[in-house]
Chains A and B, each alone.
Chain A
Amino acid sequence: MRSAKTPFVATILVAAVLVGLLVWQAADRPRPKAKEPLIVYCAAGLKPPMEVVARDYEQAYGTTVQLQYGGSGTLLSNLRIARRGDLFLAADSTYLELARSNHLVAEVIPLARMKPVIAVRRGNPKQVRLTSDLLRADVAVALANPDAAAIGKVARESFERSGHWAELIERAKVLKPTVNDVANDLKLGTVDAGILWDAVVRQYPELEAVAVPELASAGQEVSLGVLRFSAQPTAALHFARYVGARDRGQLAFARAGYEPVAGDAWAERPEVLLYSGGVNRLAIEETIQQFEQREGAQVTRVYNGCGILVAQMKLGQQPDAYLACDVSYLTPVQNLFNPGIEVSETDIVLLVAKGNPLGLRALADLARPGLRVGMANPRQSTLGDLTVQLLERSGVADGVLANVRSQTPTADLLVNQIRTGSLDVVVVYEANTSQVRDFLDVVHLGVPGAVAVQPYAVGTHSAHPQLMSRLRAAIQKEASRQRYAALGFRCRGEAAGP
């Protein structure tokens, strides 16, 4: 007789091998490693915090970061001509906007906020307390040129609203091209007051800021742009995420006097959870895969009927973002999310046999005696609910509902049922029909209300709100919009780049 111990030990060995294979399979992913040094075009004014962050990053990950300093405008011209480099950090958002509108920048990661303030020499010798003090005869004021510098533009907008601008520009002693020129004038004592960013004031120990209500609501973000022509976008984004992380780069910016923004938590390879209505899957799947690869992130997506997703969220699941089937399925869980942005819409249509042999053209036709109709369940799905509303508005609900042979929780089941020939007509989203248009015909209803709108919302608790916003931007890019359009969706909002 033999003991059964030997086979038992064999099962342990086999199990160990299987676990090993599973771990190996999971680890078998490319890691973002920059072979070349990262080249950052960095506005000279932002040197103090950026130098700290770059040094920390080099120590942590062994990637060399080359900071190329210069004026924002000069840097913009440089990178435009050179067409190399990885990141662009401009002194204010004007230059980044310019770069973006010229398709030089792909992703934009906000790092900090700046607010305009009145700046005076330390101790405030001229006792400047209010905006009206700038108009006093004994106070010499320097302003940044509103056509050349963002701070000048922001000052003009704010003071035009308060009615001070005309007099202020009249009395200003000098207009300077950049914010640092104004600060230098103040430091040298050639003027008594000027309008500067609060962060710039903090970099000059000789100056102090005076906050006035007229400027309180204005402000703008300092952002880091990933250059479109970067040869190593994943490595560039890795660094950009590090700089923008609230527990990494933003700390250095806060120490340098910048007000932090709602940055992401740092994660070398962020893992986020996306809930999506099943109807969106084909439209977004490729975009998400490209996004994961470019960002070096892991997006776990859960596709399901929105009723089920809502139930899971009510049970305590908190996805980082949610792409609903219809706005009505965001409302019940809105407390978990920031306001949704409408991404797409799709029509409610009839799906019939090729050539439409029964000549079905409108909802009223579905009431014909003996017709085999399929529709989504009104309690389980948005589509079913919207369908019943449409039928009731058309006054044919009773007749049509009597013909319903199949009610399903999701539209895709209806598509499969009519493909097998067990139904004559089904009411589905146009977006459900993309794979079957060779076998079946789509009949548009042409009545108002026959549409579902898909909103995208970022979770309020998410540790990666910026990453999730970039995912939304990726979904709204032109290439993604084309995929949406090919599937029978119409996109809402402006395209967020090519």
Chain B
Amino acid sequence: MSQGSAPPAPRPPRARGGSDRGFLAALWVIGSLYLVLVVAMLAADAAYTSPWHLWQSLQSREIRYAIRLSLLSCSLTAILSLWVAIPIGYVMARQDFRGKSVLDALLDIPIVLPPLVIGLSLLILFQTVPGRLLERVVPVTYAVPSVILAQFMVACAFAVRTMRATFEQISPRQEQVALTLGCRRSQAFWWVVLPQARRGVLTAVTLAWARSLGEFGPILVFSGATRLRTEVLPTTVFLELSVGNIEAAVAVSLLMVAAAVAVLLLIRAYGSEPTLTQGVRP
């Protein structure tokens, strides 16, 4: 690096290029360690089962129901989470008020609590007088709405965190400009802030969806494990595992992986659609 007689101009870039390669290689190595672990896990799963077991799983009416219920409930939960997370995230990012830190801690409770405790708490909640009154109108406990509610309790907390971080990272400047140009606060929100939060919204939806797909603890307690009624894919895995039928459990797990990858790719593809990104650009 320090050869005095040589012309300095061409050398440094080469030297810098070399060190970049080393740096990037290090990133790749560290990154691949993790990726290798993920892929190895899936490979081990795949080795434990067989196409026949996968086929058998898909043939089962109960498992087909669980797949449908999982996909429908997760998607609904993701949308519900978004509807709640955007207002909360916006308020938490833009406004200061007394008791904000308490509220902040409350919003994290569903993330901190063990899943079983969330299920148990929901179960107890619906045994109270208002809970029972609600059950008379819409049966919740041990029925499909309980699945969505259990998923929502946890997924929404993650969506709120994501949306709050998103709004915090968006500079309030453009919004303020819009306000000075005569926009009302709501107009600025719909026309300026929310289009800028696109990526965050997509991340929040993805996170909520993925989190719901894997949700299990609260569902087992609050929704039961009734086949063809409240059985979602993680319940299926649990039921198969609880009798030592590891092959079927793994087959269903792989189905879950496939469903998750498909949906995540779909959301990413939608997210990078150029006509939609135009919205954020002037």
> How far does the Cβ of A421 sit from chain B's closest Cβ, in whole Å?
12
Q: Is B242 an interface residue (CB 8 A)?
A: yes
Taking a contact as CB atoms under 8 Å apart, the answer to whether A289 and B243 are in contact is: no
Chain B residue nearest in CB terms to A285: B227
Residues of B within 8 A of A4 (CB): 190-191, 194-195, 279
Chain B residue nearest in CB terms to A19: B76
Q: What range describes how many residues of B lie at the interface?
A: 35 or more
Taking a contact as CB atoms under 8 Å apart, the answer to whether A301 and B224 are in contact is: yes
Q: Is B225 an interface residue (CB 8 A)?
A: yes
Taking a contact as CB atoms under 8 Å apart, the answer to whether B192 and A315 are in contact is: no
Chain B residue nearest in CB terms to A282: B243
Task: Identify the 4 closest CB pairs spanning chains A and B, nearest first.
Answer: A4-B194, A412-B242, A302-B224, A435-B244
Residues of A within 8 A of B142 (CB): 273, 300, 302
> How far does the Cβ of B118 sit from chain A's closest Cβ, in whole Å?
15
Residues of B within 8 A of A434 (CB): 243
Chain A residue nearest in CB terms to B249: A416
4 more contacts with CB within 8 A, not counting A4-B191, A7-B276, are A8-B194, A300-B229, A312-B221, A316-B127
Q: Is A469 an interface residue (CB 8 A)?
A: no
Q: Kindly identify which residue among A21, A289, A433 contacts B72, using a CB–CB cutoff of 8 Å.
A: A21
Taking a contact as CB atoms under 8 Å apart, the answer to whether A298 and B194 are in contact is: no
Taking a contact as CB atoms under 8 Å apart, the answer to whether B278 and A2 are in contact is: yes
Given A4-B195, A11-B82: A18 and B75 interface contact (C-beta under 8 Å): yes
Q: Is B50 an interface residue (CB 8 A)?
A: no
Residues of A within 8 A of B241 (CB): 412, 416
Q: Kindly identify which residue among A15, A21, A25, A301 contacts B226, using a CB–CB cutoff of 8 Å.
A: A301
Q: Kindly identify which residue among B83, B190, B195, B278 contacts A11, using a CB–CB cutoff of 8 Å.
A: B83
- Report the Cα distance A50→B82, complex, angstroms: 58
Given A282-B243, A435-B244: A14 and B79 interface contact (C-beta under 8 Å): yes
Taking a contact as CB atoms under 8 Å apart, the answer to whether A22 and B73 are in contact is: yes
Residues of B within 8 A of A282 (CB): 243
Q: Could you show 23 A-B contacts with beta carbons less than 8 Å apart?
A: A1-B195, A3-B191, A4-B190, A4-B191, A5-B190, A18-B75, A18-B76, A19-B76, A21-B72, A22-B69, A22-B76, A25-B69, A26-B144, A282-B243, A300-B229, A302-B142, A304-B220, A312-B120, A312-B221, A317-B127, A412-B242, A432-B243, A433-B244
- Report the Cα distance A289→B229, complex, angstroms: 12
> How far does the Cβ of B70 sit from chain A's closest Cβ, in whole Å?
12
> How far does the Cβ of A276 sit from chain B's closest Cβ, in whole Å?
10
In the complex, per-residue mask of A266-299: 1 if CB is within 8 Å of any chain B CB, else 0? 0000000100001001100100010000000011
Residues of A within 8 A of B144 (CB): 22, 26
Q: Is A415 an interface residue (CB 8 A)?
A: yes
Residues of B within 8 A of A281 (CB): 239, 242-243
Q: Would you list which residues of chain B between 41 and 87 have a CB under 8 Å from chain A?
A: 65, 68-69, 72-73, 75-76, 79-80, 82-83
Residues of B within 8 A of A300 (CB): 142, 224, 226, 229-230
Q: Is A248 an interface residue (CB 8 A)?
A: no
Chain B residue nearest in CB terms to A428: B244
Q: Would you list which residues of chain A between 462 and 497 have a CB under 8 Å from chain B?
A: none
Q: Is A419 an interface residue (CB 8 A)?
A: yes
- Report the Cα distance A2→B278, complex, angstroms: 8
Q: Kindly identify which residue among B72, B79, B242 contacts A410, using a CB–CB cutoff of 8 Å.
A: B242
Chain A residue nearest in CB terms to B240: A435
Chain B residue nearest in CB terms to A20: B72
In the complex, per-residue mask of B108-133: 1 if CB is within 8 Å of any chain A CB, else 0? 00000000000010011001000000
Taking a contact as CB atoms under 8 Å apart, the answer to whether A416 and B246 are in contact is: yes
Residues of B within 8 A of A52 (CB): none
B contacts, CB < 8 Å to A = 65, 68-69, 72-73, 75-76, 79-80, 82-83, 120, 123-124, 127, 142, 144, 190-192, 194-195, 220-221, 224-227, 229-230, 239, 241-246, 276, 278-279, 282
Q: Is A303 an interface residue (CB 8 A)?
A: yes
> How far does the Cβ of A273 sit from chain B's closest Cβ, in whole Å?
7
- Report the Cα distance A21→B123, complex, angstroms: 26
- Report the Cα distance A440→B68, complex, angstroms: 35
Q: Is A436 an interface residue (CB 8 A)?
A: yes
Chain A residue nearest in CB terms to B190: A3
Taking a contact as CB atoms under 8 Å apart, the answer to whether B72 and A22 are in contact is: yes
> How far does the Cβ of A47 sit from chain B's closest Cβ, in whole Å?
39
> How far does the Cβ of A11 sit from chain B's closest Cβ, in whole Å?
5
Chain A residue nearest in CB terms to B116: A308
Chain B residue nearest in CB terms to A10: B79
Given A2-B279, A15-B76: A419 and B244 interface contact (C-beta under 8 Å): yes
Residues of B within 8 A of A3 (CB): 190-191, 195
> How far does the Cβ of B49 sit from chain A's closest Cβ, in whole Å?
14
Taking a contact as CB atoms under 8 Å apart, the answer to whether A1 and B191 are in contact is: yes
Taking a contact as CB atoms under 8 Å apart, the answer to whether B76 and A436 are in contact is: no
Given A3-B191, A419-B246, A436-B244: A14 and B75 interface contact (C-beta under 8 Å): yes
- Report the Cα distance A285→B16, complex, angstroms: 67
Chain B residue nearest in CB terms to A23: B144
- Report the Cα distance A14→B65, complex, angstroms: 20
Residues of B within 8 A of A25 (CB): 65, 68-69, 72
Residues of A within 8 A of B282 (CB): 1
- Report the Cα distance A7→B195, complex, angstroms: 10
Residues of B within 8 A of A432 (CB): 243-244
Q: Would you list which residues of chain A between 1 and 59 have a CB under 8 Å from chain B?
A: 1-5, 7-8, 11, 14-15, 18-19, 21-22, 25-26
- Report the Cα distance A3→B276, complex, angstroms: 11
> How far does the Cβ of B282 sit from chain A's closest Cβ, in whole Å?
7
Q: Kindly identify which residue among B73, B79, B127, B229 contacts A298, using a CB–CB cutoff of 8 Å.
A: B229
